[in-house]
């Protein structure tokens, strides 16, 4: 443990120790995945004092986009979709990219399809 850090819970010290052992690319992947996981808590929330929109918002896909940025964009595009309903599939796709090296473009294409399917299912109900 680094002596300049205040006493942290064991889990946080463990995470910092693991992070310190990683190379630069793996650190970026870990941070991207952590951002994705942290963002799940905020996903799908209605705007303050209102209901989520009934139709997807028109947020264009940038020419260059990371998988994490795509998840953020898709959560904003489809705020009416409950993120818990697509969590397993989305997490699997994120892992395939971050840990398995699957190309971002392919994963983003599949994430867009996943959100669209869940939106269509919601409309049909």
Does residue 18 fall inside a structural domain?
Answer: no
Answer whether residue 63 is part of any domain. yes
Residue span of the structural domain in which 115 resides: 24-124
| Mean pLDDT of the residues in the chain | 82
Residue 41 has a pLDDT of 53
6 inside domain: no
For residue 93, which of 75, 78, 112, 80 has the smallest C-alpha distance?
112
Q: How confident is the model at residue 44 (pLDDT cuts 50, 70, 90)?
A: very low
Residue 77 lies in a domain: yes
Rounded to the nearest angstrom, the gap between the alpha carbon of residue 93 and the centroid of all alpha carbons in its chain is: 10
| pLDDT band of 98, cuts 50, 70, 90 | confident
Number of structural domains, the chain?
A: 1
Q: What percent of the chain has pLDDT over 70?
A: 82
pTM listed for this prediction:
0.66
Answer whether residue 10 is part of any domain: no
* C-alpha span between 69 and 62 (Å, rounded): 10
Q: Could you tell me if residue 99 is inside a domain?
A: yes
């Amino acid at each position: 443990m680094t002596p300049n850090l205040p006493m942290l819970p064991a889990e946080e010290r463990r995470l910092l120790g693991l992070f310190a052992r990683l190379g630069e690319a793996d650190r970026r992947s870990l941070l991207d995945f952590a951002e994705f996981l942290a963002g799940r808590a905020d996903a799908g929330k209605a705007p303050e004092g209102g209901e989520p929109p009934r139709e997807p918002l028109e947020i264009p896909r940038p020419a260059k986009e990371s998988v994490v940025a795509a998840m953020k964009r898709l959560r904003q595009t489809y705020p009416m979709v409950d993120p818990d309903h697509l969590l397993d599939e989305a997490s699997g796709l994120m892992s395939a990219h971050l840990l398995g090296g699957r190309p971002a473009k392919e994963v983003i294409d599949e994430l867009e399809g996943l959100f669209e399917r869940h939106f269509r299912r919601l409309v049909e109900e």
